Amino acid sequence: MTGPSASAASYYIPPEAAERLRLREQAARYAADHRLVPPLVMAELDEHTARLLAEVSCDARAREYVYVLLNNAAWRPVVEAVPFERRTLLLPPCLRAADCPASFDKLGLLCDRCGRCDIGALSDEAEDLGYTVLVIEGSSIAADLVLHGTIDAVIGVGCMDALSRAFPHMVAAAVPGLAIPLVRDGCRATAVDTQWVREAVRAVAPPADGARGNGYSPLDLAALRSAVAAWFDTDALRGLLELGGTEMEELALHSLAGPGKRWRPFLCAAVYSALRDGGGAAPDAVRRVAVALECIHKASLIYDDIQDDDAQRYGAPTVHREHGVPVALTVSLLLLGLGYRMIADAPLPAGVRTEMLHLATAGHGRLCLGQGRELLWMRNRRPLSADEVTDIFAGKTAPSFEVVLRLGAMCTGADDAVHRILGAYSRALGVAYQVRDDLDDFTAGGDADDVLAQRPSIVMALAYEAADARERAVLREAWTSAGGNAAAAAARRVVKKRDVLAAAQRTLTEHTNAALAALAPLRHARLKTVLCRIVGQVFETGPTT
């Protein structure tokens, strides 16, 4: 859990137990005084670590160690509120004795409880309380357990180097946890402050302290995704949409109920559920708004397929290829009308419905302007700068994220501060999504390649900015004329020579980091956790449309 510039050689753990305890207490006091809300993203940790180090007298080499302590202090109230049986203790195999007789399986070390090291005693104590204990290197298993709803919190022991490497994954998964660094590193016979581990394992919230979780309680996103998928059962949709059974209505219903990842209704429901006090299924109003968003999205996909003349969507013929362009356009318009009608009819206060329709239609307009800017460029193509490409991306994608997230928040009456944060987060997320899509297209090649299709591309823009005069001519030919495969292949050679994919990856990282940094002012831990996990899930999967 260290800054990106740290190296293994720079890690420092104060050797005296009293100094380690003092720093832990200082970090806990700082987190309480500044009301730190987890998950803390890197920008927050950088800021607060610098401020704490300015206040506390300690060895300057302990900076990365303080990162760990501050992150622990932010998450601790959440971890304390999680029942023992919903927690996992991760211990590293390097704690075992040099003559350890234990064997390994695919989940890690199988401790024999021989008493030659601390693993057996710590495991017994945690398991007696109800913990799941894993003796294994790495955090990916723990993150998967949290994301799949198996556990709600992790207490992990490891060397500073391992904690540093795990930190990006734990942030992406927004895993509630406490990290306990080893006080002596090495591949075998390492050492840990066992008193600290035992104290962390037994940590529970004070009985009368109901506010210690900072508004956090676990949200089972996997269960929510299943619930949202069930909303798109054909019979359920037919009743919800109040369709009359005409052929055109059946075509719209078939398009809406057909395959799809349902990201937009899921994100809307996730924000609502994160902000809502208490559990249970989303009410009918949220279901109607979420289904309305999918109606509007599916309508836009029909238009996209017509513009690109795509033959298939989700492995089936596109609507315009199967029924012709006029019918496809009419189905698309019908879906738009159904979507807006469902928002207008949602069982919510009239003022809220009006605000929702205003946001949805304004977002619709911004998306059209963004897409229109791309389409008009394609009629008169010219080289684009990276800034111009990201502006196009922001216009054609960011409004979609913003509308679905903010409509979910509107269902709870969220304040203006939350909506401002969601707006900034959505812009960065939308640009990052399109940059990732460009990278995927360029890597895959073929007919879908943005270079061959002559669409705005961050890869091409970065290559043009880095190229010399001769290379720019090659890129211009590929981007602005009907040069076909030969011109596209020549452009790819320039991209490879200039190492542009690495630059595009840095652009992607810049915007995903900006999305996370936008969450820093958010004072609601459960919503902050959900939004961090959305970043992790979106950029660990393929295209989500």
More confident residue, 53 or 542: 53
- The CA-atom distances, in angstroms, between 171 and each of 4, 43, 102, 378 are 13, 12, 32, 39
Q: Are residues 18 and 132 in the same domain?
A: yes
Highest mean pLDDT range out of 46-55, 354-363, 446-455? 354-363
Main-chain phi, psi angles of 481, to 5 degrees: -135, 170
User: What is the domain range of residue 65?
Assistant: 8-201
The pLDDT assigned to 62 comes to 86
- Asked whether residue 330 is assigned to any structural domain, the reply reads yes
Strands (E), 262-376: 312-313, 316-317
Instruction: Give the residue from 212, 209, 219 showing the smallest Cα distance to 31.
Output: 212
Cα–Cα distance for residue pair 274/523, rounded to 1 Å = 12
Is the per-residue pLDDT at 188 higher than 80?
no
Is the per-residue pLDDT at 464 higher than 60?
yes
Q: Are residues 119 and 13 in the same domain?
A: yes
Q: Are residues 150 and 250 in the same domain?
A: no
More confident residue, 203 or 282: 203
Residue count (the chain):
545
3 state DSSP class of 105: strand
Last residue of a domain, one of 319, 347, 375: 347
Average pLDDT over residues 18-33: 93
Is the per-residue pLDDT at 544 higher than 50?
no
Instruction: Give the residue from 24, 123, 71, 82 showing the smallest Cα distance to 217.
Output: 82
Q: Are residues 100 and 180 in the same domain?
A: yes
Q: Checking phi first, is residue 330 left (phi over 0); if not, alpha (psi -120 to 50) or beta?
A: alpha
Cα–Cα distance for residue pair 302/309, rounded to 1 Å = 10
Pull the structure tokens for residue 543: 């295209």
Would you say 105 and 150 are in contact if contact means Cβ atoms under 8 Å apart? no
- The CA-atom distances, in angstroms, between 227 and each of 259, 267, 379 are 16, 12, 44
- Asked whether residue 25 is assigned to any structural domain, the reply reads yes
Instruction: Give the residue from 480, 242, 230 showing the smallest Cα distance to 379.
Output: 480
Last residue of a domain, one of 326, 347, 368: 347
pLDDT tens per residue, range 71-128:
999 999 989 988 999 899 989 888 888 788 878 776 777 778 888 888 989 999 999 9
Q: What is the CATH number of the domain that holds 286?
A: 1.10.600.10
Is the per-residue pLDDT at 145 higher than 60?
yes
- Asked whether residue 480 is assigned to any structural domain, the reply reads no
- Asked whether residue 432 is assigned to any structural domain, the reply reads no
Is the per-residue pLDDT at 475 higher than 50?
yes
Q: Are residues 180 and 259 in the same domain?
A: no
pLDDT band at 1 (very low <50, low <70, confident <90, very high): very low
Give the chain's largest Cα–Cα span: 78
Q: Are residues 46 and 191 in the same domain?
A: yes
- Asked whether residue 91 is assigned to any structural domain, the reply reads yes
Would you say 138 and 94 are in contact if contact means Cβ atoms under 8 Å apart? no
Cα–Cα distance for residue pair 484/496, rounded to 1 Å = 19
- The CA-atom distances, in angstroms, between 427 and each of 192, 318, 391, 400, 455 are 43, 30, 10, 10, 21
What Rg, from alpha-carbon coordinates, does the chain have? 26
The pLDDT assigned to 265 comes to 96
- Asked whether residue 496 is assigned to any structural domain, the reply reads no
Average pLDDT over residues 503-515: 93
Q: Are residues 194 and 265 in the same domain?
A: no
Pull the structure tokens for residue 406: 């903010």
Tell me the percentage of the chain whose pLDDT exceeds 90.
52
Q: Are residues 177 and 47 in the same domain?
A: yes
More confident residue, 292 or 378: 292
**How many CA atoms within 13 Å lie on the side-chain side of 183?**
15
- Asked whether residue 94 is assigned to any structural domain, the reply reads yes
Last residue of a domain, one of 140, 172, 201: 201
Would you say 494 and 474 are in contact if contact means Cβ atoms under 8 Å apart? yes
pLDDT band at 158 (very low <50, low <70, confident <90, very high): confident
Look at the chain and report how many structural domains it folds into.
Answer: 2
Instruction: Give the residue from 104, 105, 88, 95 showing the smallest Cα distance to 144.
Output: 88
Residue 132 CB contacts under 8 Å (≥ 6 apart), including other chains:
87, 88, 89, 145, 151
Q: Are residues 156 and 230 in the same domain?
A: no
DSSP 8-state symbol, 94: G
- Asked whether residue 536 is assigned to any structural domain, the reply reads no
pLDDT tens per residue, range 195-249:
999 999 999 877 655 444 444 567 788 888 999 999 999 999 998 998 888 999 9
Gap between the terminal Cα atoms of the chain: 33
Q: Are residues 227 and 197 in the same domain?
A: no
Cα–Cα distance for residue pair 162/503, rounded to 1 Å = 27
The pLDDT assigned to 94 comes to 85
Pull the structure tokens for residue 274: 């994160």
Average pLDDT over residues 471-479: 90
Average pLDDT over residues 437-454: 69
Would you say 183 and 158 are in contact if contact means Cβ atoms under 8 Å apart? no
Q: Specify the pTM.
A: 0.85
**The residue to which tokens 């397929």 are assigned:** 305
The pLDDT assigned to 25 comes to 94
Q: Checking phi first, is residue 13 left (phi over 0); if not, alpha (psi -120 to 50) or beta?
A: beta
Q: Are residues 61 and 180 in the same domain?
A: yes
The pLDDT assigned to 79 comes to 92
The pLDDT assigned to 409 comes to 95
Average per-residue pLDDT for the chain: 86
- Note every long-range contact of 477-486, with CB atoms under 8 Å and residues 24 or more positions apart, other chains counting: 478/451, 478/454, 479/381, 479/383, 479/451, 479/454, 480/381, 480/382, 480/383, 480/454, 484/452, 485/452
pLDDT band at 541 (very low <50, low <70, confident <90, very high): very low
Q: Are residues 332 and 228 in the same domain?
A: yes
The pLDDT assigned to 167 comes to 73
